[in-house]
Amino acid sequence: MHQVYLSIGSNIGDRQAQLHQAITALQADPAIEVVRVSSIYETAPVGGVVQDDFYNCAVYLRTSLSAAELLQRIQQIEQQQKRRRLIHWGPRTIDLDILWYDDATIKTADLTIPHPEMTQRAFVLVPLKEITVGLKQQQVEKLIQALPAAQRVTKIRDEHV
Ligand SMILES: Nc1ncnc2c1ncn2[C@@H]1O[C@H](COP(=O)(O)OP(=O)(O)OP(=O)(O)O)[C@@H](O)[C@H]1O
Ligand SMILES: Nc1nc2c(c(=O)[nH]1)N=C(CO)CN2
């Protein structure tokens, strides 16, 4: 079994329902065991596109899927939730990003792991800190302390599997 951390975000429609629907879809997959879900945070959009605030959370799961198979699965979930890619880093009903897959470093045309933007994103790191322990949590804490500027991240709801 592989140990995987995901970041999930939504800023279109009922954002909490969108996050919940994506997590439910992960739990429904027999090859995926969702072990821990962070609280939900309301977060200011990062990346320069003027858009509504996001809801973000982080998920720790175990899976027998390969990284490429997991990517396919999360893209199916995004399609089921009618994600439309119109503007890069623009609004989306749902977005699932693979942050870590075991301690692997992966670089293919479709997949880069660890996620290349995660170290710059409080909306990723703050939820991730909640669901990591030990050395991983210390690593995340250091990344949070090193973030360049204050990014608004406000806990709105505890969420635990
Ligand atoms: N670690 C990863 N997790 C998810 N998708 C990835 C990853 N690495 C590369 N990709 C690729 O990124 C492509 C674009 O993904 P997407 O449109 O969701 O980007 P984004 O979420 O808007 O931006 P960002 O990836 O910076 O958060 C996907 O089709 C996928 O092939
Ligand atoms: N607050 C916030 N900002 C973002 C997000 C996100 O999930 N939350 N996702 C992006 C592209 O993946 C770009 N900017």
Handedness of CA 84, 112, 11, 21 (dihedral sign): positive
Asked if 79 and 95 touch (Cβ cutoff 8 Å), the reply is: no
Task: Work out the pLDDT band at 2, boundaries 50, 70, 90.
Answer: very high
Domain count, the chain: 1
Q: Is pLDDT at 20 greater than 70 in this prediction?
A: yes
Q: Catalytic residues, which ones? A: 83, 92, 95, 97
Task: Work out the pLDDT band at 161, boundaries 50, 70, 90.
Answer: low
> What's the pLDDT tens digit per position in 37-52?
999 999 999 999 999 9
Q: Is pLDDT at 158 greater than 90 in this prediction?
A: no
Range of the domain at 66: 2-160
Q: Is pLDDT at 4 greater than 60 in this prediction?
A: yes
- The arithmetic mean of pLDDT across residues 116-126, rounded, is 97
Q: Is pLDDT at 157 greater than 80 in this prediction?
A: no
Token pair belonging to 146: 């090193």
- The arithmetic mean of pLDDT across residues 82-88, rounded, is 86
Find the range with the poorest average confidence among 31-40, 64-73, 143-152. Answer: 143-152
Among candidate residues 11, 131, 117, the one with its CA nearest the CA of residue 19: 11
CATH number of the domain that residue 95 is part of:
3.30.70.560
The number of helix segments (H) and strand segments (E) in the chain equals 4, 8
Token pair belonging to 153: 């991240």
The structure's pTM equals 0.96
Asked if 39 and 157 touch (Cβ cutoff 8 Å), the reply is: yes
Which one of 74, 97, 128 would you pick to mutate in the ligand 1 pocket, going by the greatest count of ligand atoms within 8 A of its CB?
Answer: 97
Ligand 2 centroid to residue 8 C-alpha, Å: 9
